Structure 1
């Protein structure tokens, strides 16, 4: 990476929340001994929350940008370098559902589309998109 680097990461409080939820579900699993359905449900919830917390530990920075391009999390915790020349479009897709607005940052390379939420970035998607576009053009 060359020059200044911008980074967006998962907020630490969300990581802690996921870890606490995994612990709470683990306790619920132990307390459900004797109830097979309860153990299965609580155990599945424990596993899911633990995996989400682990992903946040292994790949806390979900998006970074420098003069050469972007590095984006791909898959569970892999990283992929995308040169600026391969980025066709950066936009925010905003949807309204049940009186709630959500935005997703879309980075389109033509071959792949990377989708990142506000929870992945730790900042509003439109703000990140604006920063990326101005960083890319140098303005």
Structure 2
């Protein structure tokens, strides 16, 4: 079963879904910055610039995964970006999975996001980067 999942994560449909996922996420940084800004830990300087750069990178890598010649590089950039986002996930959990005037969810969802969803996104990017399709 794991082999089938790995093969699906390399498929054309998975690559297209990865494109849509990061394209929408990237544009959302500009459309709804108030969602992201409270999630940026206060010890990081210039949260507006961090949000803007994150959005630009997500849009660029979205297009990068569509092109087979740039897919591997785009996937590695996604991996690096996801690793760079880990402090935000930890900060969100430290705040009780609730930020002022922002996202509030049960704390178990914060943990689920960090321990399950984030590694799945890393796996998805990794497998997409190994796709030759």
Alignment TM-score > 0.5, same fold? no
> Which structure shows the bigger proportion of residues in strand conformation?
1
Higher Cα Rg, which structure: 1
For CA contacts below 8 A with separation 6 or more, give which structure has more relative contact order.
Answer: 2
